[in-house]
């Protein structure tokens, strides 16, 4: 939990000027993004160790209106600039270093068991939805309020309802760490 959280926190604080340990600690404890991430990682930690996840899940819901299934998989380096209104269904897989904005929904199709598979370093803009067992390739960008119902290739930018690829090779560079 702590290794993953450390990577998450580092990525979420990267927009802030380099600062000392005390300021970093203060930011970690006060920013919405870092608070939500601590609860998310705590929920997964509880699930992995067979402890009840209800407490973390309720706090996430009360404070952030976030519902994330304990059966989802989220890679390290998750960045949540506006952690509000996220819904992530069971069996959704999110790769490392993704950016997820407010009101993003990653949900199953009716009756299906497999969820969306999001690659590494994907950008899911405000209100984006990904529905069903589709894959969003590495470094892809999904525009504001778009609804993805088909696979999106790596490095593509997709927008609209249903989302269509408008750029096959966007300029989203891989994070270095």
Query: What does the binding site for ligand COA look like in residue numbers (CB under 6 A)?
Result: 82, 101, 125-126, 141, 143-146, 157, 159-160, 166-167
Find the shortest distance in angstroms from Cβ 128 to ligand COA: 8
Find the shortest distance in angstroms from Cβ 157 to ligand COA: 5
- State phi, psi for 135 to the nearest 5 degrees: -120, 140
Find the shortest distance in angstroms from Cβ 98 to ligand COA: 13
Quick check: 135 and 112 in contact, CB under 8 A? no
The rounded distance, in Å, linking the Cα atoms of 82 and 28 is: 14
Q: Which is nearer to ligand COA, 47 or 147 (CB)?
A: 147
Find the shortest distance in angstroms from Cβ 127 to ligand COA: 8
Burial class (CB in 10 A: 0-12, 13-18, 19+), 15: exposed
Q: Which is nearer to ligand COA, 29 or 161 (CB)?
A: 161
The rounded distance, in Å, linking the Cα atoms of 70 and 2 is: 17
Q: Which is nearer to ligand COA, 11 or 56 (CB)?
A: 11
């Amino acid at each position: 939990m702590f290794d993953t959280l450390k990577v998450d926190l580092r990525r979420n604080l990267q927009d802030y000027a380099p600062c000392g340990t005390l300021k970093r600690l203060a930011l970690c404890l006060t920013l919405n993004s870092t608070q939500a991430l601590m609860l998310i990682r705590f929920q997964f930690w509880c699930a992995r160790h067979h402890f009840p996840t209800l407490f973390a899940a309720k706090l996430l819901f009360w404070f952030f209106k976030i519902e994330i299934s304990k059966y989802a998989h989220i890679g390290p380096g998750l960045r949540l600039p506006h952690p509000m209104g996220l819904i992530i269904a069971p069996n959704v897989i999110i790769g490392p270093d993704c950016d997820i904005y407010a009101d993003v929904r990653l949900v199953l199709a009716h009756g299906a068991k497999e969820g969306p598979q999001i690659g590494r370093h994907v950008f899911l803009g405000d209100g984006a939805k990904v529905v069903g067992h589709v894959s969003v390739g590495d470094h892809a960008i999904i525009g504001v309020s778009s609804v993805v119902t088909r696979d999106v290739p790596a490095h593509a930018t997709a927008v609209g309802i249903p989302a269509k690829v408008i750029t096959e090779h966007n300029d989203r560079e891989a994070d270095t760490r």
